[in-house]
Every structure is written in C-alpha cells, then in structure tokens.
Structure 1
C-alpha cells in the first residue's frame, strides 16, 4: 500500500505528502544513478549512470528513455543555469562544463591555483549567475567512476565560479563535500559531507554556511543535521525551505529548523533527487540502479 512508503516522524510531514501517492519506477538498469536535472522547456529529465559512463534522458510526454550522451566523461551532478543551459560535473574530465544552446561544450573550471581539480561532484547556480560546486575525490580514487589519479589539490573543497569566470575556493573545512543547495532566500549554503567513506570518524552530515554580505564568500560553517541511515548525498530545498535529501533508506525530509519530518522509504540507497514536472511538484529520485518519482504536496524552490 502507498502508506507503507512513508515514515512519518512529525505531523508537518503529512501536509507535504500525498499518503495515497505511489512511487513510480520510470527506468531501471543502472549501476549508480546520479545527478538528475529537469528541463522545463523540453519536459524531460536527464541523469547520470556514472560507472556506465552515460547520461540518460527521460521524456515526460511519452515516458521513453534514451541515451543522451555516451561516453560522457563519467559525469555526476547536473543543474540548469539561468539561461536553461546544462551545467555538468565531470569526474573523468575533472571539470565543470556547460552545454551551450548550439550544443557545444564549454569548460568553466578545471583547475584552481594552477593545479587540476579532483573530480567535481555536484553543482548549483545562484541567482546572480555564479556557479558553486563541490570537489571530492571519488572520480580519481579508482577507475570505476573516472580515472584513478593522484590528487593535486591539498584536499577536497567547495568552489565558486564568478560570472566572469574566476574560480575561488569558498569552503576548505570538509572531508568529502558532496551535495549542496542554497536556502530559499540564498542566505545559507547547505553542503553534505560524505567523508565517512574515507574517514571513519566523520559524521554523515549536512553543514550550513551563512552567505557573507558580499554575496561571494561564506561565514564559518556548522553542523546542521546528521543522517541516521547511511549517508546524505544529493539534496534539494523546496519552496518552504524544507530539505529533501538522499539517504541509505530512501529520501529524508527536514524542516528549516533541522527537525526530521519524515522519510520516503525505498529498497535501494538513494544518491540524489530533484523537483520537476510542470508544477515542480514531482520528486525525481536516483536510487542506485533505478530512476523513480513520486508526487509530493510541495513545490521545488523556484528557479531564480
């Protein structure tokens, strides 16, 4: 029954879901699905199947799935910029790239301080056009999701690409920064730390960093929420400021104050999510080998 999909921890969660809504499996056959991004103008969703080195495309009008690009340099996270272009994090390319309107590819960032990036993982665009991305080491740790290679940076960090193209480091106190998203008013940047994969003592958490008055730098970060099952990976914020995050047992929903409101339970580890559909009220879920979706009673935060 649909009600079995939900673990309600707080009555506020009931107002954010449709208890009779089922989880739809839109596609299966991946190895590690990631990086969903919804393109409203085309009514389609793209996502990564990282070990298989391909991007897939789901057509909302007919439910068909096709390969969007293969090989794709082991792309991971994606987002859509203010002009509707695709921004991609490339493991094997060790860069953040942009797909232009004419179909050409532009590399936006592949180094910092004269040294190659590790393997950009997830990315978000701020309303001023700046691009913020995480750079853990997963794509250079082995040949499974990229090319094994030595790390050139002094750690795993978070960066900002200015609209003029300048790359700056904005966070340097994390073990393996992963998913990230701004609060609805862009006053806070939330970043997941999956450092437990490499550092056993690292708590599986999302940290919060206040945006400075200049709009380009961040204040001191603090731990915000800790995952009770598995790790937080990718996540999104809805129009009310709630955080919908991937986890080991499904999707966890947190109130703006950090209270766990409830979970959407799945039988696979979830890697990432995004809101989409004409009303932005459908949650698309990349769950290890599958792409799934469920209608919720909230909307994804509006695109600036």
Structure 2
C-alpha cells in the first residue's frame, strides 16, 4: 500500500539499533546479536520487496516512480527501472521474471530482468473495466498469479472513482488472459503470501483489520477460509518454519495457529512490507516509509 498522506512523513532516521521483543519462542527467530540496520533512507515511500534466485532484493519507491535493486554481491542499492509504471508490489515468477503491480494504468506487468528489461502487460482490466489498482502479488508452483486489487486514490490518476465496486483478490492461471475472482468479501485486501507447496494462501483484509488463511484447490480457487489473526497487514512474507510476517506497526510474526511469537519495532510511522533475501535468504528486508532496513535471522525465506 502507498497512501498519499505518507508523502509528508519523511523524517530523518538517526538510529539503526532497536530492542527486539520476542514472545514465548523456544528458539529466537533472530540471529544472535543481530540488530535492525538502516540500509538507506533516501526514498519517498518504499514498498514491494521481492527476492530473485540470486538473493538480490528488488523494491519500489512509488512516489518517485522507480524500482530499485539491492545487490547480494556488494550490498549496494541501484536504480533498476525508472519510470516504472508507479509499481507497488513485486514478485518473481517461476521463470525468474519480475512481476509488478503497476497501478499507474491499473496494470499487472512482467519484466525481463536478465535481458532488455522488456515489459509485458499481463492484465489491466476485468470484464471490460479497469482494475482498482493491483497491489500485492504471489505466484503458485504452477505459475498462476494471485493478486490483491484494493482501491487507494493516487495523486497521479485522472480518475476519482472505482470502475469495479468490489475490492477483490484475483487468480490469473498461467497462460490465461482472464483472471478468476477468488475472494469477493473483503473490505480492502492488501498483503498476500502462500506456502511453498502451494496448498495454503494467507491474505490480509487491511480494511477490516483481519488476516485469513485459505486452502488452495487444484484449479486455483480457495476454500476453507479461517481467521488467522485480528490484525490486517500491508505486506506479508513467510519463513521456512511456517511463520507469517505481517506489517504496519513494525513487523509482527504469527505462527500457523495465529499466535504472536515476535514483534520487531521499526522506527517509522508505518512499515509497508517485508521479505527474505540475501545469501541463503536469511536476511529480513523491511520497507518502511522512506527507508529500507535489514535484520539477520535464524530462519530463512521459502522462495
């Protein structure tokens, strides 16, 4: 999520060491002696971190219309693409191409990161109407794409109203041009993440301050909706122990039973998103307001 009011909340950050609060974990999820570390605070609003097969992490700065890349090789951040369709959420597909929720024209993009950075527009409409604004993305083992489509009025849009009243979650099967509605009863869907075996999907209804789990069927449709926790989330990720990481007031980690096991304070007014990256995917990357942070972990990501 990028919300316009955050344009004006870009305060300098002078500290990178925080107290991390654990709640009843048998073994700490955080590496011994690790501290939340500021990588950079040179942006307007950071979002959408996604890791590639090499451990590099791509993230967005939507107000500045750019996708940035943190390099696993040297830890430096460079501009990968600018302009970038006002990209918000990112995710890599199973062939190593970067998917972007490019909401400038309400589109879902696929970008060739290894070649000429060619952009393919996968989707912009549903049944002849413009999408609200694709926000966050997850790709299942078969290559199908789940994405959330909330409505956040953007300063760069000419429109000021929805064409699709419902704020939904869609599934785009691999090779298809027509998405399927998989969730139609949320107030405002946002963060989304699935299990690596493709059997569970977690989606946050940030508008209703809840996060749910679903069983994924062979056709991509969802069943067995269950409340995970009465907390919404802007972005989400998962570790190799099955813990779910939600964002907003820092990063809050829940186990698969919905029990809070960890809270990571972040020195910003809003924490937007989170993913694992770097060598062995054991570094947690956190996008928050104008900044990117890292934290070394004992657990790893599942990509």
> Taking structure 1 as the reference length, what is the TM-score of the superposition?
0.88
Distance in 2 separating the partners of 1:205 and 1:275: 23
SS of 1:77's equivalent in the other structure is strand
Match of 2:9 in 1: none
Distance 1:190 1:48, change over 3 A: same
1:222 paired with 2:226, answer: yes
1:167 paired with 2:183, answer: no
Distance in 2 separating the partners of 1:184 and 1:107: 26
Matched positions, count: 285
Match of 2:93 in 1: 81
1:112 paired with 2:126, answer: yes
Match of 1:20 in 2: 33
Distance in 2 separating the partners of 1:167 and 1:208: 21
Distance in 2 separating the partners of 1:179 and 1:232: 6
Match of 1:9 in 2: 23
Residues 119-167 of structure 1, C-alpha deviation per residue, up to 9 Å, x if partnerless? 00000110001011000011xx1316x5543211121101111112231
Residues 173-193 of structure 1, C-alpha deviation per residue, up to 9 Å, x if partnerless? 111110101134322211111
Distance in 1 separating the partners of 2:92 and 2:33: 31
Match of 2:168 in 1: 157
Which 4+ runs in 1 deviate beyond 4 A? Answer: 1-4
Match of 2:62 in 1: 50
Structure 2 spans left out of the alignment, 5+ residues: 1-14
SS of 2:28's equivalent in the other structure is helix
Residues 82-132 of structure 1, C-alpha deviation per residue, up to 9 Å, x if partnerless? 111100001112011101344211111111112111100000110001011
The partner residue of 1:211 within 200, 213, 216 is 216
Mapping 1:225-304, distance limit 5 Å: 225-227=229-231, 231-248=232-249, 250-268=250-268, 269-301=270-302, 303=303
1:90 paired with 2:95, answer: no
**1:275 Cα shift?**
0.6
Contact 2:233–2:247 (CA under 8 A) maintained in structure 1: yes
**1:220 Cα shift?**
4.7
**1:3 Cα shift?**
8.7
Match of 1:176 in 2: 188
1:32 paired with 2:36, answer: no
Distance 1:245 1:26, change over 3 A: same
Contact 1:36–1:46 (CA under 8 A) maintained in structure 2: yes
Contact 1:40–1:276 (CA under 8 A) maintained in structure 2: no
Residues 245-280 of structure 1, C-alpha deviation per residue, up to 9 Å, x if partnerless? 2121x1111111111001111111210011111201
Contact 1:184–1:237 (CA under 8 A) maintained in structure 2: no
Distance in 2 separating the partners of 1:246 and 1:285: 9
Match of 1:199 in 2: none
